[in-house]
Amino acid sequence: ILGGGHGTLFVLTLTPDTLDFGEQIVGTTSDAQTVTVKNTKVDSVTIGTLEITGEFAIASDNCTGTNLTQNQTCSFSVRFSPTSDGAKTGTVTLLYNESVFLAALPLAGTGIAPAVGLSATSLTFAPQFIGTTSAAQTVTLTNVGTGTLEIGTLTISGDFSFRTNTCNGASL
């Protein structure tokens, strides 16, 4: 990223030059990813502000207000918090004096929303003599959302028990 007006007086490099957060469950926040900003030319430059768009947020920032001389660095970090499923994009823009463009960093991530689907939401059993076991009824659990659904342990209560259970620990 070049800047400085009359010729190239400073060059800011961003490492990495893009952030991709991959898949993140809707309603949760990703771990922060850090970006290092470096001035690789002779003249100094002061970073005024960082602006961010999309479903992303600045997690930490030691660049705002920093004067970078040649080969000096600062860093900031970004988090992703999707509010719905699907591909999301955004940008972090580094500005001088809140209006002059210095650099931009593309952001990407995908909101995922795994969801439980059941083949039956209730079961009705015929009357049963005490001490006997009824015929088994099957309920199929599926993932009807986006992203992987991690199943922990299914429990059942009352006078009922699982005949078979292949869901515990499954990834759907």
**Helix, strand, coil share of the chain (percent; to 5):** 0, 45, 55
Q: Which two tokens stand for residue 121?
A: 């939401």
**Cα–Cα distance between 76 and 48 in angstroms, integer?**
13
Task: Give pLDDT, residue 9.
Answer: 53
Task: Give pLDDT, residue 160.
Answer: 87
Percent of the chain with pLDDT over 90: 70
Percent of the chain with pLDDT over 70: 94
What is the value of pTM for the model shown? 0.77
- How wide is the angle at C-alpha 90 spanned by C-alphas 79 and 57, nearest 5°? 30
Task: Give pLDDT, residue 97.
Answer: 72
Strand-strand pairing, 100-112 and 19-25: parallel
Mean pLDDT to the nearest integer, 2-31 = 81
Q: Please say whether the beta carbons of 72 and 47 come within 8 A.
A: no
Residue 91, pLDDT > 70, answer yes
Q: CA quadruple 82, 83, 88, 92: dihedral positive or negative?
A: negative
Quote the mean pLDDT of the chain. Answer: 90
Task: Give pLDDT, residue 119.
Answer: 94
Residue 44, pLDDT > 80, answer yes
